[in-house]
Amino acid sequence: MSTSSAQTIVLVTPVFFAMIAVEAYVGWRRNRNTYRLPDAMASIGLGMLSQLTGLLTGVLGITLYMLVYDHLAPWHLNPRSPWVWIGALIAYDFFYYWLHRMGHEVAILWAAHVIHHQSEEYNLSTALRQTSSGFLLGWAFYLPMALAGVPPLVFVVAGLIDLLYQYWVHTQQIGKLGWFDYWFCSPSNHRVHHAVNEVYLDKNYGGILIIFDRIFGTFQEELDEEPCVYGTRDALLSFNPIVANWQVYGRLFRKTWRARGLDRLRVWVKSAHWQPASWGALPQAHYDPFAKKLYRPAVPAGRVKLAVALFVLLLGATTWLLWNANVLSLWEQVAGLAVVAAGLSLVGWLCEAGSEKGEATAPVVVGA
C-alpha cells in the first residue's frame, strides 16, 4: 500500500464510523440490531491489522505491476482520457470478480480471504474485516491490466474506488433496490455472498458490478423464504486476529504434513475441504444453517470495558502509524505493527475469557 493510499483510508475512516453509528441507530429504532461489541471490535481490529500490514507488503504488488507496465506492455494508455479511467475501473472489477471467485474455490486463496467471512454478524464493521495475507498472490490477477498499458496511478485509483464502494453493501438495514440489484453489487446481493445457506453458498462475487455473476453463472437472488445466516461453516470461535489470519493456513499445513507426493501440492490448489482419496471420503453430513450457534462468550462487564479502552488506544495508534508512515523507518513500522497485533490479541482474549455460551441464530428477513 502506498503512503497516499494509507492516508486516504485515514481520511475516510471517520465516514466509516459515522455510517456504523447511523446503521446501529437505525437497527435500534427498528428493533433489528445487527451488532455485538466484541464481534465489531474483532472485525475493525482485523481491518487495522490489514492496513498496517499493507504498509509493509503493498509495495510488492505495485512494484510487480510497474515492472510489467514498464517493460512488457506494448503501449501505454493516456491517463488524461476519461475512457481509460472508465475502462480501467470496469477491467479492475472484472479481474476482482475472478480473484474473489478463486478466493472461494482455491484453498491457498481462501486461506487469505476467509477472514472477511468469519464474522457471524453482517453489518458495516464486517466490511472492514480484511486479510493481512492477500498480498501473497492477489496481485497476479491484475497483471493483465499492466500488460494492457493501464498507467499505475489509474490502476491504484481504480482499486481504491472498487474497495471503497464495497463498504456500504455490508448492511442488513437496506432491502432490495429493484433495477439497481440487477446490474450492481448491492446490500441484498452481497448478503447472499456472505451467507452459509446451501442455496447461497459461493455466489455473487462482484465488487461493483453484479453483471459478471450473471454472465458466468454465479448469481443468486436473495430469497424472502430463505433468510441469510452468516459466518463460515468452520466457525472461527475466536476474537483473536492472529488466530483469524492463521486458521485456514494452519489446517492446510497440517494436511500437507499428512499428504504424500503431488497431493501435498493439491492440498493448496484444490478447494479448502479437499483431501487425498487415500484418506477416504469426507462425511456428507447435512448442514442446517438455522441450527447454527453464535459464538457468544459470557464475559464480565469489567473485562469488556477494559477491552474497549484498550481498543480505542490501539485505534489511535493505528491512525497515527498510517498517517505518518512516510516518515517512519521500516523497523518503526514493523514495531508498530507488532505492538498493535499484540494489543488486539489482548483485546480478543479479554472478550473471550469466561464461560462460553452458544445461542441459536435468529435470522432476520430484510424487507423489500
185-237 pLDDT per residue, tens:
999 999 999 999 999 999 999 999 999 999 999 999 999 999 999 999 999 99
Q: How many domains in the chain?
A: 2
User: Cβ(340)–Cβ(48) under 8 Å?
Assistant: yes
The answer as to whether 323 is a domain residue is: yes
The torsion defined by the Cα of 222, 228, 234 and 237, in degrees rounded to 10, comes to 140
* Average pLDDT across the chain, whole number: 92
Average pLDDT over residues 84-96: 98
**Based on the domain organization, do 78 and 48 belong to the same domain?**
yes
The answer as to whether 287 is a domain residue is: no
**Based on the domain organization, do 119 and 254 belong to the same domain?**
no
Compute and round to an integer the Cα radius of gyration of the chain. Answer: 21
pLDDT attached to residue 204: 98
Residue 312 makes CB contacts below 8 A (sequence gap 6+) with none
**Based on the domain organization, do 25 and 74 belong to the same domain?**
yes
For residue 31, pLDDT over 70 is answered with: yes
Looking at per-residue pLDDT, the higher value among 82 and 292 belongs to: 82
Give the whole-number percent of the chain exceeding pLDDT 90.
Answer: 84
C-alpha cell at 271: 478447494
pLDDT attached to residue 46: 98
User: Cβ(165)–Cβ(210) under 8 Å?
Assistant: no
Give which of 69, 45, 194, 19 is closest to 122, Cα–Cα: 194
**Based on the domain organization, do 110 and 248 belong to the same domain?**
no
The answer as to whether 159 is a domain residue is: yes
260-300 pLDDT per residue, tens:
999 999 999 999 989 888 887 777 677 888 887 889 898 89
**Based on the domain organization, do 307 and 262 belong to the same domain?**
no
38-70 pLDDT per residue, tens:
999 999 999 999 999 999 998 899 999 999 999
**Based on the domain organization, do 12 and 51 belong to the same domain?**
yes
The answer as to whether 284 is a domain residue is: no
The answer as to whether 99 is a domain residue is: yes
pLDDT attached to residue 362: 43
**Based on the domain organization, do 299 and 158 belong to the same domain?**
yes
**Based on the domain organization, do 184 and 64 belong to the same domain?**
yes
Angle at 297 between CA 291 and CA 302, to 5 degrees: 155
**Based on the domain organization, do 263 and 182 belong to the same domain?**
no
Alpha helix (H) residue ranges in the chain: 3-29, 37-71, 82-105, 107-113, 124-127, 143-147, 152-165, 179-183, 187-194, 211-216, 241-258, 263-269, 301-323, 330-352
The answer as to whether 341 is a domain residue is: yes
pLDDT attached to residue 282: 73
pLDDT attached to residue 309: 97
Residue 6: band (very low, low, confident or very high) from pLDDT cuts 50, 70, 90: confident
The answer as to whether 366 is a domain residue is: no
35: left (phi > 0), else alpha (psi -120 to 50), else beta?
A: beta
Residue 354: band (very low, low, confident or very high) from pLDDT cuts 50, 70, 90: low
Residue 365: band (very low, low, confident or very high) from pLDDT cuts 50, 70, 90: very low
Give the whole-number percent of the chain exceeding pLDDT 70.
Answer: 94
pLDDT attached to residue 141: 97
149-188 pLDDT per residue, tens:
999 999 999 999 999 999 999 999 999 999 999 999 999 9
For residue 368, pLDDT over 80 is answered with: no
Dihedral pair phi/psi, residue 236, rounded to 5°: -70, -45
The answer as to whether 286 is a domain residue is: no
Looking at per-residue pLDDT, the higher value among 357 and 34 belongs to: 34
Looking at per-residue pLDDT, the higher value among 362 and 25 belongs to: 25
**Based on the domain organization, do 260 and 302 belong to the same domain?**
no
* Domain ranges, residue 249: 244-279
**Based on the domain organization, do 113 and 100 belong to the same domain?**
yes
Give the end of a domain, one of 252, 279, 306: 279
Residue 360: band (very low, low, confident or very high) from pLDDT cuts 50, 70, 90: very low
For residue 131, pLDDT over 50 is answered with: yes
Give the end of a domain, one of 279, 303, 336: 279
pLDDT attached to residue 8: 84
DSSP letter (8 states) at residue 184: B
pTM: 0.91
**Based on the domain organization, do 120 and 251 belong to the same domain?**
no
